[in-house]
Structure 1
Amino acid sequence: MYSEKEKAVIEQAIISAIAYSSDGDEIEQYTNLLNRFRNENAQIDGFRYDYDDSSY
């Protein structure tokens, strides 16, 4: 699968896309993608990560 570094880069890219978009539908799609990505990785790792995205 992906290394931890690659996962972090992918997650940060999605977060950046959310932050720089002004299109509500696009933001919703990116947010859904981010949640799926985090949930899938949490299942693989055996942990669930909760991040505070309120600053983005």
Structure 2
Amino acid sequence: MQNISLYFTAKKCHSCGNTRLGNGEGSFKITEEGFTRNCKCGASIQTCFAENRNQ
């Protein structure tokens, strides 16, 4: 459930407002450490999960 709330937090690009993913529009990747959201405009946001911040 945490993954779904993260998606909605980073659904919209903070730079251009794009909400699309895939087909060259942008990407959203979730790993054990955190998530990364990239946009076609070049903007990127990367976040670590709280339990991984002190490691």
TM-score, with length taken from structure 2: 0.28
Higher strand share: 2
RCO greater where, 1 or 2, for CA within 8 Å and sep 6 or more?
1
Higher helix share: 1
